């Protein structure tokens, strides 16, 4: 898939990568095939509801899908090509007169929803529908939801609602029951890796495969987060992006350091483990980030220890599965589970402490004595 770049920014205005490479059609939407297929089929068969709810974690494509869906609803076959292009461009930029985007976090009061109710009866200016996209809809107040409910019960035929939220549990059941709900899943690691590689190449950078993997894993299923991280590392890179640069950006240690720490713990040598941590932090790693990395590395040891194959490794390199399996067997599953618990408790305490390094060192000593 070729990158879609918005060149609307002038020489004095920079548009971030996540916006320039935002998907503009169902075909470009990554990782949400079940949603794009269902919405496209609804349009093709004429079975379009009056209210939709898009739920999922941040950065998985909810608002982008809402805009794509709004474009598909707004454009008809009998429109002149110039008008089609104009409407599509206006919706992509959030400036279309018939597609109104509302931020639920900053327009959460009943007054804003009453204003919306007074405007829904106004027919669309040039498109078939007037579409309201309300982002973070769960932020609306109880009174605002009650006011919105009256419109959802009997909306005008020319009005469609698309609600986006990261927390559907906070939305009243009376609202939920009147919406067609689509749950967006975290984007798969492979899909994020592929997209980041495309963007880096389009921006004129060579990027190491390991660097791509590190960025994709850190994004934890969020396409937008992965693109923001890529933009950060591109900002201090010249032509090539390496794994070392990504570690510097994220404050993380490479996998060999994690392996060395766990091997020292297996050998009941806390001094060696602490020395490896000191070396990694001297190279720019953050104590809190290293603790999370160790926790995730031990998770992969646990998976290998109970018989999991390379495909079960979520954080370690699957190519090193044999070495991870041996290390897991040396430690034993019960020891790994205890170590995970110790690190998890250390992470909780770190959030309320300014002595993250000390807490990590204490945790390493505890684990070495298991």
- Residue, of 109 and 254, whose pLDDT is higher: 254
Look at 114-123, 185-194, 228-237, 278-287 and tell me which has the smallest mean pLDDT. 114-123
Query: Is it the case that residue 5 has pLDDT exceeding 70?
Result: no
Look at 12-21, 142-151, 162-171, 353-362 and tell me which has the smallest mean pLDDT. 12-21
> What pLDDT does 10 receive?
41
Q: Closest Cα partner for 367 from 319, 328, 335, 323?
A: 335
Burial of 154 (0-12, 13-18, 19+ CB in 10 A): exposed
> What mean pLDDT do residues 36-41 have?
94
> What pLDDT does 111 receive?
78
Query: Is it the case that residue 276 has pLDDT exceeding 90?
Result: yes
Per-residue pLDDT of 53-107, as tens digits, reads: 999 999 999 999 999 999 999 988 788 888 889 999 999 888 888 998 988 877 7
Per-residue three-class SS string for 198-241: HHHHHCCCEECHHHHHHHHHHHCCCHHHHHHHHHHHHHCCCCEE
Q: What is the model's pTM?
A: 0.81
Cβ contacts of 357 within 8 Å, gap of 6 or more: 277, 281, 287
> What mean pLDDT do residues 163-191 have?
94
CA distances to 30, 133, 348 from 222, rounded to whole Å, are 11, 21, 24
DSSP tag of 319: G
Q: Closest Cα partner for 349 from 357, 340, 359, 341?
A: 359
Q: What DSSP string runs through 160-199?
A: EEEEEES-GGGS-HHHHTTSEEEEPPPPPHHHHHHHHHHH
Query: Is it the case that residue 355 has pLDDT exceeding 50?
Result: yes
> What pLDDT does 3 receive?
44
**% of the chain residues with pLDDT over 70:** 96
> What pLDDT does 12 receive?
53
C-alpha to C-alpha distance for 57 and 296, rounded to whole angstroms: 20
Q: 1 falls in which pLDDT band (50, 70, 90)?
A: very low
DSSP tag of 135: E
């Amino acid at each position: 898939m070729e990158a879609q770049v918005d060149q609307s920014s002038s020489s004095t205005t920079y548009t971030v990568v996540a916006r320039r490479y935002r998907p503009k059609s169902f075909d470009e939407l990554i990782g949400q095939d079940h949603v794009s297929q269902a919405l496209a089929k609804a349009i093709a068969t004429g079975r379009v509801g009056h209210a939709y709810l898009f739920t999922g974690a941040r950065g998985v494509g909810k608002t982008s899908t809402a805009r794509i869906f709004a474009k598909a609803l707004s454009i008809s076959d009998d429109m002149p090509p110039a008008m089609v292009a104009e409407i599509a461009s206006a919706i992509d930029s959030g400036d279309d007169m018939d597609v109104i985007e509302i931020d639920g976090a900053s327009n959460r009061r009943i007054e804003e929803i009453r204003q919306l109710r007074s405007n829904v009866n106004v027919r669309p200016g040039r498109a078939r529908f007037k579409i309201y996209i309300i982002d973070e809809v769960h932020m609306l107040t109880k009174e605002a939801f009650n006011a919105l409910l009256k419109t959802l019960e009997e909306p005008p035929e020319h009005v469609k609602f698309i609600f986006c939220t990261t927390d559907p549990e906070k939305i009243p059941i009376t609202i939920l029951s009147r919406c067609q709900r689509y749950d967006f899943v975290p984007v798969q690691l492979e899909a994020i890796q592929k997209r980041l590689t495309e963007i880096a190449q389009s921006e004129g950078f060579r990027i190491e495969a390991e660097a791509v993997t590190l960025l994709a894993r850190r994004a934890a299923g969020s396409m937008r987060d992965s693109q923001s991280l890529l933009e950060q590392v591109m900002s201090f890179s010249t032509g090539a992006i390496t794994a070392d640069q990504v570690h510097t950006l994220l404050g993380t240690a490479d996998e060999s350091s994690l392996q060395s720490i766990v091997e020292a713990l297996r050998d009941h040598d806390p001094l060696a483990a602490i020395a490896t941590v000191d070396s990694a932090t001297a190279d720019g790693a953050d104590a809190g980030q290293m603790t999370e990395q160790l926790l995730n590395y031990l998770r992969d040891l646990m998976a290998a220890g109970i018989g999991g194959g390379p495909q079960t490794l979520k954080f370690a390199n699957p190519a090193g599965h044999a070495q991870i399996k041996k290390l897991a067997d040396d430690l034993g599953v019960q020891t790994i589970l205890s170590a995970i618990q110790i690190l998890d408790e250390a992470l909780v305490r770190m959030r309320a402490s300014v002595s993250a390094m000390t807490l990590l060192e204490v945790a390493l000593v505890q684990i070495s004595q298991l």
